[in-house]
Structure 1
Amino acid sequence: MTNDEQHDHVHDPATGLDPRALSALVDDELPEGERAALLERLAQDPEAASRIAGYRAQKAALKALGASAAHSEPHVVVLRARTPWWRQAGIAACWLAVGAGLALTLAPMAPRLIGGGGGEPAFAQRADIAYAVYTPERRHPVEVAAAEEEHLIAWLSKRLNRSLSVPSLQEYGYTLVGGRLLPGEAGPAAQFMYENHAGARLTLYVTATPKGETAFRLFRDGNRRTFYWVSDEMGYALSGPISEGKLRTIAIDVCSELGGRPESWQ
């Protein structure tokens, strides 16, 4: 195998994904078909989704640093020879290895549960991952936009085999962006996305849950919070980077609007 052929097979050993594809996803440079397939993979792979979240955080930090520098120093452009793609891929693989080490080091620190309990249910974890994967998307945050709300509800209700409705969050300043179908632990799940005037987003994740399962807790991962509950064998998870008190207040209203009994929460 030639050197070029070897570089064509650079993959992250932890996720099996090509780091060039991950980088292209963050930079919104993937063709539509490849982007959709990779997002689907990330929705089912917590470790890969965590990598993407890290890349986006790094990109945001670099952008903020660049903006800060632009205000304090003259803007200078330095021209350098273009680095070959295979060398960039090798560097990306090295950074992925460093990221894996950091993940192992920091894993005991997150995520954490508020309110006790031995661990969050799988649907709450999936809701948190889906929030991290899809809310940063600017061009394709949802599959069906709010302009087709009637179609969106009918489609997701059919796929989940359950009559669904989309609660309004207008009184809290959030309007519906749209929704998408996601793979759940034991069947399909739905994600509805909302956005306020500042661009901040909340998501409501809905899926069937095993009989007898109950949960009324807040799950925290970094600055993301997910308040989740179970009602009539359906799991609901409201996720967003807002205060615990406000998220709980919204969750209580959403639960009531969807026919639940939040008064039973301790």
Structure 2
Amino acid sequence: MELDRRSALLLLTIPLLFLVAFFAVPFFVVALESLRTSDGAWSLAQYAKLVSSWFYLDVLWFTFRIALWVTLASFLIGYPLAYYMTRVVKRRWIKRLLYIVVITPLFTSNIVRSFGWMILLGRRGLVNDSLMALGLTEYPLQLLSNELSIVIGMTYIMTPFMVLTISAVLQNIDITLETAARDLGANPLVTFFKVTFPLSLPGVIAGTLIVFTLTVSAYVTPSILSGGKKTVMSMLIFQQYAAIFDFQFGAALSVALLFTTLVLISLYRVFGKPRSRKSVKEAAA
């Protein structure tokens, strides 16, 4: 037992050292930098500047609003697809083909995919041409350089993460629980909402957390698809560091974004705890 404990601690040493060296220490440096002024004095002036301006607060709210829309859209697309891949498709080679289709976009750069959506959503792009050909609109719609274009592009990029996370949980759910619910008189819809969906909540929570955090910190896709007309926090932080050279305020924006994200994630995990297997069995009965 003592040897196993030492082996576990030894295995954890390298990951812990990696986190300390490349996350904890840089974050500590950034946090300290955010508490200083341009002349080196210690102050909360950077945070006062942040909370006293509606512009920065609006950018922060816009960033989280985009992340929420992308998370919701990824869930609405990803859950049915994950369910179809794990529960409906029976042939193994078709499942493998679907998984390949889902993960293939991950091997392409975000820059390439973002420019692809610029072509699709342009005034003479495939989407507008299709809408006009179907008679749904007489003029090309403004689908680029707005919030909608960012949500569409980010949803396309983030949906594979949602699908893979949820499908990993769905394929491990004991199918006899669903069979028991059906034997007790539950129809397929009731069985899904009373048994399958509650048991898949760990995958839903993990998937939504992954999508939300990745979207909050995204830079390339929002900067390309917004056309410079919309600003998210990652773009604002980059401007402070690379264009304005206000490192102290850039650090304050970084800390504020990370702190707000951690608070939202903590609240989500507290109020979004999945039901236990025992409670699901009782509900099915």
TM-score by length of 1: 0.23
Greater relative contact order structure (CA < 8 Å, 6+ sep): 2
Structure 1 or 2: more strand by fraction: 1
TM-score by length of 2: 0.22
